[in-house]
Each structure stands twice: as C-alpha cells, then as structure tokens.
Chains A and B, each alone.
Chain A
Amino acid sequence: METLTFLLSGTLIAGTPLLIAALGALVTEKTGVLNLSIEGLMAVGAIAAFITVTHGGGYWSGLLAGGIAAMALSAIFGFVVLVTLGNQVATGLAIGILGIGLSGLIGRPYDSATVAPMAKMPVPFLADLPVIGPGLFSHVPLIYLAPLMALATWWVLKSTKLGLRLRAVGEDPDAANSIGIKVRRVRFFAVLYGGFCAGVAGGFISIVSATLWADGLIAGRGWIVVALVVFGTWRAGRIALGAYLFGLATLSGLLVQTTGVDIPSQLLSSVPYIVTIIAITVLSMQPARVRLNAPVSLGQVYHQTR
C-alpha cells in the first residue's frame, strides 16, 4: 500500500515539470518552430527560481522568476531564428549550451545549497482517502494545475481563434502571411511562451521537487521534454499521458531496490533514456499518425518576402 502511495505521488512529482515544459514546447512547435534549447532554458529557470527563494522571495515569485529568466533567454533564440533566420537545430543547441553554462556560472555560489520544501495544499476530503489521498491529493498546487493546463492547451489549440492562428502559422506560413497573420510575431510569442513554461518547469525542479541547487540539476530532462512532444504526436492529451509515464519510469530505480533484486544503479539511471529511445522509435513506426498532427513547417526557415 505504501509502495502504491509512493508510486502515485512520485509519478506526479517527477511528471509535472516534464508536462509543463512539454506543453509550452507544444505551443512553440505548433507554430512551426523547433526549439531544442529546453534543457538550457530549464536550467536557467531552475537557478533563477532557486536564487529568488533563497533570498526570501516566495515560491510563486520563484516560479515566476524562473519563467521570466528562461523567457529572456528564449527571446534570444527567437531573435536568431526568426529575425536573422538561423538554422533552428543549430540555434537551439547553441542556446541550450549557453543556458547550461549561464546556470552553472550564476549558480556557483549556491552549489549544494538547499531550500525548505514548498507548502503542500491537500485537497479537502480527497486527501483523507486511503492510498490515493496521500498519493494524489496531498501536493503543492502546481501539481493539480498541470493537468488543467494540459486541458486548457488542448482546448485553446482546438477551439479558439488563437489556436487556429497558431496552427495555421505552423501548417503553412506563406498562406498565413497572405491572409494577414503576422507569422513572425505569432512565432515569436510562441517561443516566449515555450520559454516561460520551460523556466517554470525548471523552477519546479529546483525549489519544489529537489529543493536544492547543483550544476547539472536538470540532467537531460529538457531533452526528454523535446522527445515527449514527438511521442505525444503534438497532442496535449497524449503528452500528458507521456509525461506521467516518464515520471513513473524515473521511479523504477527506487522501485526495483525495494524488491531487493541486485541491479547496477547505473542501469536504473539509464531507464528513462532507454524508455525515450524506445518510445520515439515505436512512435516513428507509424508515419501516418505523425503526419496528421505534426506541424508541416516545423524546423524550416521562413523568409517573409515583404
């Protein structure tokens, strides 16, 4: 029973930052921009949030600071990709490296420092249920908000004018331009939004789940986020499912240890990466499904002839 509680709660804690960042990346990619710098953006968000909380800012201010810091870095990405028309893959890698470097540099005085955990907000009545109460309903508010955010992202993309505009720009920027949508502006805001989400997710990791700062804290989660969007075939619901599955996969190590089977810890640490490779491969085997949802212009330079 305790194991189950632990699994439920651990899955939510590990899956939430992945989900938040992936929903942001989804919006960015829907407009046709592939941002591979999520890892660096999350790192910058993590340290900005950590510093804010360390210096007496609240947890919400911390998350906001993380979001804004990452958004600022993603603005550089947006400028290079949309204004100077840089290759999106190379620019994403470069900004990612820059972000990781910056987080290490700024975070050096805080290496191995810790913060107190964020206050939990148990859901009335539900939190008192056995097993699922402590597993699902005794968490910080952000954990309840993440699935709502997935729902909202799905609804906005599917049913609002804003969503139509975002999708139109990603599907055919030339056509979007010719009916008067400001392609570059839409894409830039989508990049900023994706950056903000990545920053909040990074902040969640440093001040909510890990409650400490260390160089390399993000540890490849930004890349798993990029993979999640592909795995979720650009659909919010599937991305949410994927994020929690990956959250569960990261727990597998701890889970196996409780059974007493002797497996090298390094193998267990590799599980999320192996799962990602398998997930990407299985998904790529169904090209029709990818084609139906993937933004057609993803990753391509768009040069507006005006």
Chain B
Amino acid sequence: MTADPLLDLDGLSKRFGETVAADGLSLRVGRGEIHAILGENGAGKSTLVKMIYGVLAPDAGMIRWKGERVDLKGPADARALGIGMVFQHFSLFETLTVAENIALASAESVEKVRKQIVEIGPRFGLTIEPDALVHGLSMGERQRVEIVRALLQEPELIILDEPTSVLPPVAIAPLFETIRKLAESGCAVLFISHKLAEIRELCHRATIMRRGKNVATVDPTEESEASLAQLMIGREIPHPTREAATLSAEPVLSVQDLSMASDDPFAVSLADIDLELRGGEIVGIAGISGNGQRLLAAALTGEALIGSGDGGRIELLGQDVTDLGCAERRALGLAYVPEERHGRGTVPELDLAENALLTAHGKALTDRGFVRRNAVRTFAESCIRDMDVRCSGPDAEARSLSGGNLQKFIIGRELALEPKVIVAAQPTWGVDVGAAQAILQRLADFRASGVGIILISDELDDLLDVSDRLHVLFRGRLSPSIARADARIDLIGAYMAGESAASQNEITA
C-alpha cells in the first residue's frame, strides 16, 4: 500500500463575482476516516464539497485522488472515481419514485435498481420502499434515499452535507450508526456540519474553515466545544440576553381551529391549529422543515387565505382578520420576516431604497400616488444604520448583499414599521453566527418592549435561547405548548419525530 491519502486537496480556490468562497483550501482524507468539515454558515463548506464532487469547477488548485491528479468535469467523473454525495438540499425529484430517482444517477435500469435498494439498504440500516413517490416521503426518508443512491455507486468516499439539519434528534443516533458502519467497511466519510457536539461524538478528524480558508485540522475528541467554537468563529458562541417582560392581558394574535390546504399538491396542509400569542412573549415554532412551516407563516400573515374546504379563525389585536390579506394585516401592526430573502423578502434586482418601499410605503413614503424618493432613501439609510448592514448604501442592489446582511436589512425594515406582532420565519437560516446573534438579540429586545413574536425556526438552539414557550409543528399539526422550563431536548425531539400524545406523556412522566 502506498502512503497516498485517498483524497488530497491542494490550494483549491473559487470565486463568485466579488465573493471569494474558497481561498487556497488544502485537505487530506484517508481510507475509512470520518472527517469533519466544520465552519459556520457562509464559511465556504458547501463550495468546497461541490468542487470535490465536480459540481463546481475550481478557479485554481488541484485535487488528487489516490495520489493521481484528477480534473473533474462533472459529478459523473466524481462518481466514476468512487465519490458519492448526499446533498443538504436534496437533489430528488418529487414526481418520480424512489427507484426512478436512484436510477437517474446510475447506469442501471430502474428494475435492477429496485432490487439493489432492497438488498443494500438494510445492511446499513436504511430501509426504503423503492416504488414510493418521493413527494410523500418525510425529510428523514428522503435522506435515506440520497444515502442509498450514493451507496449504490460503491463509493470509497461519501460526502454528507449537513445531514443532521433535516433530522429530528431521535433520528440522529441511527444516522451515526449508519455512518460508523460505512467507515468500518473502509469507506471514507466527509461529514459537513456546524454543530460542535455532533462532530466531537462522531468524527476522527476535523478541518475547520473560516471565510473560505482552512484555519486548523484537529482531533475533535481532544477538543472541547468551547475550543472548537473558538477555532470556528474566533470566539465563543454568543447567546442573546433576555430581559424581563410583562405579558399583555389580551392575546395580540390568536388562531382558532385553523385548517388549511396548501396550493402545492405535494406540500403539507395545516390541521386544527390553535395558537395564542401575547404581547411581551416569544413563542417558538420548532420542527423539521417541510412540516407545514411555510404554510403556517403564510396563514398567520395573510399571504395565504382560508379557501373553500378550509376553516378557522385568526384574530390580530382583538380584530377578526381571517379574510384580510397581507397589506391589511400589516397596516394593523403585523410585521413579517419571510423565509426567502431573495425574491420574497426583497426584490433582488431593485436597490435597497426601493426594497424599503416594499413594505414601508405606509410610513409616509408616498404622496398622492408618487414615490417620495428622498424620504425612501432616508428610511432605507436608517434601516441600514440601525442593523449595521454591510453595503455600499441605499443604492446597492439587494442581490449584491450576502444572505446575512440582506436578512439584517429586512429585519431592520420590518422593525422600523413599529409592529405590535412579528412573525419571523427561519430568520437565522444560513446566516453567520454574528448576524444570527444580532437578529435574535433584536427580537429579544422587541419582546422586552411588549411586542408579541412568533419565531418559526428549525434551529432548536436559537429557539431555546429566546423563546418563552414552544410548540412543535409536525405534519401540519401543532403540539401542545411547552413552557421554557420544560423544554427538554428529549421531549421536543419526541414531538418532532411525531410520536403520539400518549407516548409523550410517558416521556414527561
């Protein structure tokens, strides 16, 4: 045997426009090794693995595979070498069956693939039904499909991009079991994550990335979470501070018996939602994404209205708003931070000033039908200053901002509306630690000033940091309210995995 590592990256760089996503990255992975790539959102982890898998072509640097230099023209080349990939955002086609999805990425016929799925899956604890349509599968099941798809190529290296982010806590241990079995069989694993505890539990070695650079390679079992955090962001992970707040006497937002079907035939519908929010509290909505979060946000804010066949009632500040649309609810004092920043929260092609006008036009920014351009600029400038948005000013096009900065701008704009109720959907998703902290702190401050906030997030840590109460959303249904003091991972995890009320009682008992 040669001493050559299985995979050897030397000085890989990649640039997107002005952003340098990877800057001279070097890395070695040996056979049977579980190797972590650790870094916060935006550190360049995804860019790195996409280059390894041939999805992106590096601008500079080289990849060696078993000591040989390789030039990957596409994922097909990577697969031919023996590199498999499980994407964070699954590359599965909803209208196709499991077997069809897997056959698409292989040279085999659908028939052959069906047999292979039944054979190989159980060996690694991955049972799936080959003829099921993907749109009916849960996130965890979809991940199994992705892993089986990668395994059928008989890979020597398998890349898992943030695999735990789509799993309820109870499903993480079985995934780790699968990964360990893979490593024992000689397959190397690249495990991408920003969760420190997972990496310490699972991985043999860890490469830590910051701003596109490789800052350290360590043995994670010899590090503490604090020292890993130090390496990852240069300091300890900060937590927002919560000041005392007084609850309003009456609910500011209440939902009674809401059922709503989604426009999308493949998406989850909401069923029997009851929810109450008072001024001065943050109510967190936990759950794995894809369990109806988008529709719930749309229903609360008026983006989606109750249609025929649906039912329920929504009150905002004591007024029945069930049939009122987005603009009317906003006028009553509801601010909404949507999940998608580009294309929903902002218009990518328009500058920040015009994007401020999007929801803030009620703030005397128009006059007899004409836009008061100076007032709009001033307003945008104040949002930028208020949230410390890094940009060239109100003339910067929204698409030129990084995800975190754009999110800060949106939050700044929505908070400048002086709302009484805020619905924030995944506000820290894909945002770096510093920006996430700033956003959560802002929400906590607004809570202290008496605003009621619904925080929908699949980052459980964020929810536990700032929420007064939690509900868990599973397949379009809300769990009972869980007080902050009772919010233990095992209880929340049970709800996230959809365990019945009876079994939850056992857990709490």
Asked if A and B touch directly (CB within 8 angstroms), the answer is: yes
* Residues on A facing B (Cβ under 8 Å): 161, 164-165, 167-168, 171-172, 174-182, 287-288, 291-292, 305-306
Partner of B105, one of A174, A179, A287, A291: A179
Partner of A171, one of B54, B93, B263, B265: B93
Contact A175 B96 (CB under 8 A): no
Q: How far is the CB of A274 from chain B (nearest CB, A)?
A: 29
Contact B104 A179 (CB under 8 A): yes
CA distance A179 to B110 in the complex (A): 16
Residues of A contacting B: mostly: helix
Contact A164 B96 (CB under 8 A): yes
- Whether, in the assembled complex, B230 has its beta carbon less than 8 Å from a beta carbon of chain A, the answer is no
**Residue in chain A with minimal CB distance to B87:** A178
CA distance A119 to B8 in the complex (A): 68
Partner of B265, one of A161, A178, A288: A288
**Residue in chain A with minimal CB distance to B97:** A164
Contact A164 B55 (CB under 8 A): no
Q: How far is the CB of A170 from chain B (nearest CB, A)?
A: 10
- Whether, in the assembled complex, B338 has its beta carbon less than 8 Å from a beta carbon of chain A, the answer is no
Given the interface contacts A161-B110, A168-B93, A174-B91, does A181 sit within 8 Å of B57 by beta carbon? no
Given the interface contacts A179-B75, A291-B264, does A306 sit within 8 Å of B57 by beta carbon? yes
Q: How far is the CB of A67 from chain B (nearest CB, A)?
A: 29
CA distance A90 to B56 in the complex (A): 30
When A and B form their complex, which 5 residue pairs have the shortest distance between CB atoms, in order from nearest? A175-B91, A180-B75, A180-B76, A179-B105, A178-B91
**Residue in chain A with minimal CB distance to B149:** A179
Convert B22-65 into 0s and 1s, putting 1 for each residue whose CB lies closer than 8 angstroms to a CB of A: 00000000000000000000000000001001111100000000
Residues of B contacting A: mostly: loop
**Residue in chain B with minimal CB distance to A161:** B103
Residues in B with CB closer than 8 Å to A179 are: 75, 91, 104-105
Residues in A with CB closer than 8 Å to B76 are: 180
Interface residues on B, range: 20 to 34
Contact B104 A165 (CB under 8 A): yes
Contact A161 B263 (CB under 8 A): no
Q: How far is the CB of A28 from chain B (nearest CB, A)?
A: 18
Q: Pick 18 A–B contacts, CB within 8 A, sort by A.
A: A161-B103, A161-B104, A164-B104, A167-B95, A167-B96, A168-B93, A171-B95, A172-B93, A177-B55, A178-B53, A178-B87, A179-B91, A180-B74, A180-B79, A291-B265, A292-B95, A292-B265, A306-B56
Residues in B with CB closer than 8 Å to A287 are: 263
Complex interface residues of chain B between 83 and 118 (CB less than 8 A to chain A): 85, 87, 90-96, 100, 103-105, 109-110
Contact A175 B56 (CB under 8 A): no
Convert B410-452 into 0s and 1s, putting 1 for each residue whose CB lies closer than 8 angstroms to a CB of A: 0000000000000000000000000000000000000000000
Complex interface residues of chain B between 239 and 271 (CB less than 8 A to chain A): 263-265
Residues in B with CB closer than 8 Å to A161 are: 103-104, 109-110
**Residue in chain B with minimal CB distance to A171:** B93
Q: How far is the CB of B265 from chain A (nearest CB, A)?
A: 5
Q: How far is the CB of B455 from chain A (nearest CB, A)?
A: 29
Q: How far is the CB of A304 from chain B (nearest CB, A)?
A: 10
**Residue in chain A with minimal CB distance to B50:** A178
Residues in B with CB closer than 8 Å to A178 are: 50, 53, 55, 75, 85, 87, 91
Q: How far is the CB of A236 from chain B (nearest CB, A)?
A: 16
Given the interface contacts A161-B109, A171-B93, A174-B91, does A181 sit within 8 Å of B104 by beta carbon? yes
**Residue in chain B with minimal CB distance to A305:** B56
Residues in B with CB closer than 8 Å to A182 are: 74
CA distance A305 to B96 in the complex (A): 25
Partner of B94, one of A171, A176, A177, A306: A171
Residues in B with CB closer than 8 Å to A174 are: 91
Contact B57 A175 (CB under 8 A): no
Contact B265 A175 (CB under 8 A): no
**Residue in chain B with minimal CB distance to A168:** B93
Given the interface contacts A175-B93, A180-B79, does A168 sit within 8 Å of B104 by beta carbon? yes
Contact A168 B96 (CB under 8 A): yes
Contact B105 A180 (CB under 8 A): yes
CA distance A120 to B324 in the complex (A): 65
CA distance A171 to B266 in the complex (A): 13
Residues in B with CB closer than 8 Å to A181 are: 104
Q: How far is the CB of A153 from chain B (nearest CB, A)?
A: 17
Complex interface residues of chain B between 182 and 204 (CB less than 8 A to chain A): none
Residues in B with CB closer than 8 Å to A288 are: 265
Q: How far is the CB of B355 from chain A (nearest CB, A)?
A: 22
Residues in A with CB closer than 8 Å to B53 are: 178
- Residue among B76, B94, B95, B264 with the highest chain A CB neighbour number at 10 A: B95
Residues in A with CB closer than 8 Å to B95 are: 167, 171, 292
CA distance A288 to B267 in the complex (A): 12
CA distance A176 to B91 in the complex (A): 7
Given contacts A164-B103, A172-B93, A180-B74, 16 further A-B contacts (CB under 8 A): A161-B109, A161-B110, A164-B100, A165-B104, A167-B96, A171-B93, A175-B91, A175-B92, A175-B93, A177-B55, A180-B75, A180-B76, A181-B104, A182-B74, A287-B263, A288-B265
